[in-house]
Structure 1
Amino acid sequence: MTSNKYDHRKEAVVVNRRGLHARAAVKIASLAEKHNADVNVISNGVLAPATSIMSLMLLAAGPGDKLCFEATGADALLAIDELTSLVNSGFNEDCDGCYGKK
């Protein structure tokens, strides 16, 4: 489910307890919109535009699921670096009991 048109690709694992819920989807979409890049997110073989909150929520990614970010454009590398950092941080939520965290 990947396209050859993307210049950069990076994965992150969902660690927060609630997974890719509405607030997390808004954070991804808002961050993706700030960059001059076309970014997609892939989870469990399903692709979603990173700027579409509804599409992101429909990925139904839960704790332990991988999100693969693909991007092209002037800010592609910066965009996916920031997006994977956001996911790895648990979307800046309280991570007591987060997946893979002790």
Structure 2
Amino acid sequence: MTATVEVCNKLGLHIRPSRYLSALAKSYDAEVTVRNNERVALADSQLDLLMLLASKGAKLEISATGPQAEEAVDAIVKMVQDRFGEKD
């Protein structure tokens, strides 16, 4: 399962959003990866996610395999679309 989503929050995938995303990824029985251009991260690793250097406007490709792959991708896409709960 794969989906692409644009980072819309002002500061991009910084410390707080990467913490939320990694915690969400860990809650599913799936191996989830996030790609920003040539950089790829394991979604359950906050440090890996920060290394994506995903700023506002970045197009993230979310991919997952495993029993809950579809649910994991859908939940992560929704979180990114909701700006990780940030107002800006």
| TM-score interval, normalised by the smaller of the two chains | over 0.9
CA distance in 2, matches of 1:88, 1:12: 7
**What's 1:39 paired with?**
32
Higher helix share: 2
**What's 1:17 paired with?**
10
Q: Which consecutive unaligned segments of at least 5 residues does structure 2 have?
A: none
**What's 1:51 paired with?**
44
Summarize deviations over 1:10-53 as a string: whole Å, max 9, x none. Answer: 01100000000000000110000000000000002111000010
**What's 1:67 paired with?**
60
State the aligned residue count: 88
Q: TM-score, normalised by structure 1?
A: 0.84
Summarize deviations over 1:37-74 as a string: whole Å, max 9, x none. Answer: 00000002111000010010010101100111110001
Instruction: For 1:76-95, list aligned pairs within 5 A.
Output: 76-95=69-88
Q: What is the letter of the counterpart of residue 7 of structure 2?
A: V
Q: What is the letter of the counterpart of residue 70 of structure 2?
A: L
Q: What is the letter of the counterpart of residue 87 of structure 1?
A: V
Paired-residue identity, %: 34
**4+ residue runs of structure 1 moved beyond 6 angstroms?**
none
Larger Rg: 1
Q: TM-score, normalised by structure 2?
A: 0.98
Q: Which consecutive unaligned segments of at least 5 residues does structure 1 have?
A: 1-7, 96-102
